[in-house]
Amino acid sequence: MFKIVSRRDLAPNITEMRVEAPLVAASALPGQFVIVRVDEESERIPLTICDYDPEAGTVTIVTQSVGYSSQKINSLAEGDCFLDFTGPLGRPSDLIDIDPEKLRDMKILFVAGGVGTAPVYPQAKWLHEHGVTPEVIIGARSKDLFTYVDEMEKVAEVHLATDDGSAGYHGLVTGLIRKLIDEEGRHYDHCVIIGPMIMMKFAAMTTKEYEIPTMVSLNALMVDGTGMCGACRVTVDGQTRFTCVEGPEFDGHKVDFDEAMRRQNMYRENPKTKRNLNHKCTCHG
């Protein structure tokens, strides 16, 4: 059993939990994910690691309620336990393999969208600890949907963008990328994009125009998450790849996003998940 030692709501339907999982915390690196199960009947749900503390033995996850299973996760309270919490899974971010000397000379841009902001944090924090201050674009529909801005500002130069103009740049992250490069004359050597699939698709198209090497972190459907089921397969550069063991980060300029988006919705119309989505959650009164 894996105890939730703290829990807070970051935005409507977005919850952060710090979970006691010492073995995972001891081995976690930026870019990796965990698979959690709430109870015996639950699905195995993959979630990107948002922070980890080997000394405290805790791992932080951030979950957005979109369907039955994520609602079930977010209905857990402080002190409750996950039945299963497995990881760290997937390959760590490529950034940690770059020679630290070389890294210090690099200008690194993160583009975070929605609930994808939290998983950017461990990567930005890791860079900051290694003497690099990256830039992070955080995009949201509106300013009350921002998460992890305060944390991020401690480790990175943050640029905000909102669709409705309620904070920061008024427009999409793609517009802000252009503005930073074209109007402010900034230059980037490497970009990492994490967020909703559609945002990653268009942000990656934008960085391709500027020829910035770009990684994206894919949140594909998974069952076991250890390289057994193949549910997470994606097409990268015309090749089928398995997100769970070869990812979750892939070259953003080579991912077939249209296929990835279609596959992500595979079970949306499943009678069982439909039943689940109609389930009235009484957890929040």
Partner 1 sequence: MAERIPRTPVREQDPEVRARNFEEVCLGYDAGEARREASRCLNCKIARCQQHCPVHVDIPGFISRLAAGDEAGAAEVIARDSSLPSVCGRVCPQESQCEGACVLGIKSEPVGIGKLERYVGDWSIAHADERQVEIPAPNGRKVAIVGSGPAGLACASDLARLGYEVTVFEALHKIGGVLVYGIPEFRLPKDRIVAREVEAVKRLGVKFMTDVVIGRTMTVDDLLDRMGFDAVFVGSGAGLPRFMGIEGENLNGVFSANEFLTRANLMHAYDEAYDTPVYAGSRAVIVGGGNVAMDAVRTARRLGAEAVIVYRRSEAELPARVEEVHHAREEGIVFRMLTNPVRILADEQGWVKGIECVEMELGEPDESGRRSPVVKEGSNFTIDCDVVIMALGTSPNPLIRDTTSGLDTNRRGCIVADDNGATSRPGVFAGGDAVTGAATVILAMGAGRKAARAIHDYISAGSQDN
Cα→Cα distances 216→202, 220, 226, 250, Å: 11, 12, 20, 6
Q: Does 135 bind partner 1 (CB under 8 A)?
A: no
The single residue among 73, 89, 140, 173 that binds partner 1, judged by CB under 8 A, is: 89
Q: Does 249 bind partner 1 (CB under 8 A)?
A: no
Q: Tell me the backbone φ, ψ of residue 206, rounded to 5 degrees.
A: -70, -45
Of 142 and 265, which has the nearer Cβ to partner 1? 265
Q: Tell me the backbone φ, ψ of residue 201, rounded to 5 degrees.
A: -60, -50
Q: Does 231 bind partner 1 (CB under 8 A)?
A: yes
* Cβ proximity of 207 and 178 under 8 Å: no
* Cβ proximity of 64 and 13 under 8 Å: yes
Beta-carbon contacts of residue 281 (< 8 Å; ≥ 6 apart):
71, 75
Of 98 and 229, which has the nearer Cβ to partner 1? 229
Q: Does 266 bind partner 1 (CB under 8 A)?
A: yes
The single residue among 133, 240, 281, 283 that binds partner 1, judged by CB under 8 A, is: 240
Cβ of residue 226: shortest distance to partner 1, in angstroms?
5
Q: Does 272 bind partner 1 (CB under 8 A)?
A: yes
C-alpha atoms less than 13 angstroms from C-alpha of 145 in its C-beta half-sphere: 18
The single residue among 259, 277, 281, 283 that binds partner 1, judged by CB under 8 A, is: 259
Collapsing DSSP to helix, strand or coil, 11 comes out as strand
Of 87 and 114, which has the nearer Cβ to partner 1? 87
Cβ of residue 114: shortest distance to partner 1, in angstroms?
24
Q: Does 52 bind partner 1 (CB under 8 A)?
A: no
The enclosing H or E element of 194 equals strand 190-194
What would the DSSP string read from start to end of 118-153?
Answer: HHHHHHHHHHHHTT---EEEEEESSGGG--SHHHHH
d(CA 170, CA 164): 6
d(CA 135, CA 178): 14
Of 211 and 269, which has the nearer Cβ to partner 1? 269
Q: Does 227 bind partner 1 (CB under 8 A)?
A: yes
Q: Does 229 bind partner 1 (CB under 8 A)?
A: yes
- Judged by CB under 8 A, the chain residues 18 through 47 that form the site for partner 1 are 23-24, 27, 37, 41-44
Please identify, among the stretches 6-14, 118-126, 134-142, 261-269, the one whose residues bind partner 1 according to the rule CB under 8 A: 261-269
The single residue among 6, 165, 226, 277 that binds partner 1, judged by CB under 8 A, is: 226
- Judged by CB under 8 A, the chain residues 147 through 186 that form the site for partner 1 are none
* Cβ proximity of 206 and 199 under 8 Å: no
Residues forming the site for partner 1 (CB under 8 A): 23-24, 27, 37, 41-44, 68-69, 72, 83-89, 223-224, 226-231, 233-235, 240, 242, 245, 259, 262-263, 265-267, 270, 272-273, 276
